[in-house]
Chains A and B, each alone.
Chain A
Amino acid sequence: TQLLEQSPQFLSIQEGENLTVYCNSSSVFSSLQWYRQEPGEGPVLLVTVVTGGEVKKLKRLTFQFGDARKDSSLHITAAQPGDTGLYLCAGEVGDYKLSFGAGTTVTVRA
């Protein structure tokens, strides 16, 4: 059973379109992290959100942490083929353990 549920599981869009990926849980997290993973590689940290209601922007990527610190979303504006990858959210459980969602596979077609 996943502590964090990600949706959708797969997302295929055309270059230039926008997309949103969701990460939901019934548990409260002290922080939540978003990673991107490419085939055959390890996860690379994109952002950490800590405060309920927090919004962070990283170029065309916007991350939001829910007010209750149970959910988060990742929005990509004007997606590019380079955004293709597996997007993983992970909630911090205790001081060091991360609980990961199963991920959303994003494909951006040129």
Chain B
Amino acid sequence: NAGVMQNPRHLVRRRGQEARLRCSPMKGHSHVYWYRQLPEEGLKFMVYLQKENIIDESGMPKERFSAEFPKEGPSILRIQQVVRGDSAAYFCASSPPSTGNTIYFGEGSWLTVV
């Protein structure tokens, strides 16, 4: 998973604040995925993006969560008005342009809402 860069690695937010998580995919990768991992649960798919396009956001909560992958710069997962239940590890993964390729995970961003 070296090469997929996520920051911050750890983030503490008070209830009601906003959290922004950033992900820079591996070089040459134009597909980005976000997954969320809750304690003692497997990773859950949230969203799949290509440059400037959201391809599948079926795993995103309908409110307060948004994601983008601009033409320039990292992908951003944004959580507005955070609640305690948003506390989790958020993993970004990337893959090359062709479908069916292996995806590579970053080291994660751990969000704690206090």
Please list the residues of chain A having a beta carbon within 8 angstroms of any beta carbon in chain B.
2, 4, 35, 40-45, 48, 88, 90, 95-103
The answer to whether A96 and B42 have CB atoms under 8 Å apart is no
Name the contact of B42 in the complex, choosing from A2, A45, A48 (C-beta under 8 A). Answer: A2
Name the contact of A43 in the complex, choosing from B33, B43, B95 (C-beta under 8 A). Answer: B43
The answer to whether A98 and B41 have CB atoms under 8 Å apart is no
Please tell me the size bucket of the interface on B: 20 to 34
Bound together, the chains give a CA A101 to CA B91 distance in angstroms of 16
A sample of 21 cross-chain residue pairs with beta-carbon separation below 8 angstroms, ordered by A number, consists of: A2-B42, A35-B105, A41-B108, A42-B4, A42-B106, A42-B107, A43-B43, A43-B91, A44-B1, A45-B104, A48-B102, A95-B99, A96-B48, A96-B56, A96-B95, A98-B35, A98-B43, A98-B103, A99-B45, A102-B41, A103-B42
Q: B99: which A residues are within 8 A, CB to CB?
A: 95-96
Please list the residues of chain B having a beta carbon within 8 angstroms of any beta carbon in chain A.
1, 4, 31, 33, 35, 40-45, 48, 55-56, 91, 95, 99-100, 102-108, 110
Bound together, the chains give a CA A103 to CA B44 distance in angstroms of 12
Name the contact of B1 in the complex, choosing from A2, A43, A95 (C-beta under 8 A). Answer: A43
Of listed B43, B48, B100, residue having the most chain A CB within 10 A: B43
Bound together, the chains give a CA A34 to CA B102 distance in angstroms of 12
Known: A41-B108, A100-B43. 16 other contacts (CB 8 A): A40-B107, A40-B110, A42-B91, A42-B105, A42-B108, A43-B43, A88-B42, A88-B43, A96-B48, A96-B95, A96-B99, A97-B48, A97-B56, A98-B35, A98-B43, A102-B40
